[in-house]
Amino acid sequence: MAFSVDVEKKDTLVVQNLKTYFPVRSGIFQRVSAWVKAVDDVSFTVKEGETFGLVGESGCGKTTVSRSILRLIPANGGSVFFEGQDVFNLRSNELKALRRNMQIVFQDPYSSLDPRMPVGDIIAESLLIHGVKDSKQRNVVVQEMLAKVGLNPYHAHRYPHEFSGGQR
């Protein structure tokens, strides 16, 4: 898995001392008896123009770091700044706008894409969710995204099984 950031400014993403713990519950009342430290004191900075890959052994916390940065799961400590904004203090509408510029890219290309949808529709779906209602505008963005990753416009009509693992 990699963490992708739409980078425009220096120090676009700053993660400082990120901590995410999960409770272990036990007993008849399911009280917290211990904590699993999934992420403990992680810090990094992604600067303008950099490509950042978060790598490590299975189960080391890569996905938890990514989900904590996007506030998909709550962090127990630390801070995350994206383009100067404190991610952990954003209101829900501000967080939704922020998520338009950040995404998690999962490592399994075979289960990440809906096999019943053409790739162009898969890309366009996220644009629709984020408020791009005009289909012509969505199509332009889909074509731009395909070009950015070295694919041709006709690839928009292909299904995920028609691509190699690298293309997916």
Segment 136-158, tens digit of pLDDT: 988 998 999 899 888 999 999 99
In terms of domains, do 62 and 14 share one? Answer: yes
**How confident is residue 109, by pLDDT bands cut at 50, 70 and 90?**
low
Segment 28-69, tens digit of pLDDT: 999 989 999 999 999 999 987 787 888 888 888 988 999 999
The CA–CA distances, whole Å, from 64 to 11, 13, 38, 39, 61 equal 22, 16, 7, 7, 5
Q: Which domain holds residue 61?
A: 1-107
Q: What is the CATH number of the domain that holds 29?
A: 3.40.50.300
In terms of domains, do 95 and 116 share one? Answer: no
The residues facing 37 across adjacent strands are 21
* Count of structural domains, the chain: 2
Q: Give dist(CA 75, CA 99) in Å, integer.
A: 17
Segment 113-125, tens digit of pLDDT: 888 999 999 888 8
Of the two residues 60 and 105, the one the predictor is more confident about is 60
Q: What is the pTM of this model?
A: 0.64
pLDDT for the residue numbered 11: 65
Segment 66-102, tens digit of pLDDT: 999 999 999 999 999 988 889 999 999 998 888 877 7
pLDDT for the residue numbered 23: 93
In terms of domains, do 63 and 10 share one? Answer: yes
In terms of domains, do 123 and 96 share one? Answer: no
In terms of domains, do 102 and 125 share one? Answer: no
| Residue 19 and residue 41 in contact, taking contact as beta carbons nearer than 8 Å | yes
In terms of domains, do 91 and 136 share one? Answer: no
Domain boundary among 55, 78, 107: 107
In terms of domains, do 5 and 39 share one? Answer: yes
**How confident is residue 5, by pLDDT bands cut at 50, 70 and 90?**
very low
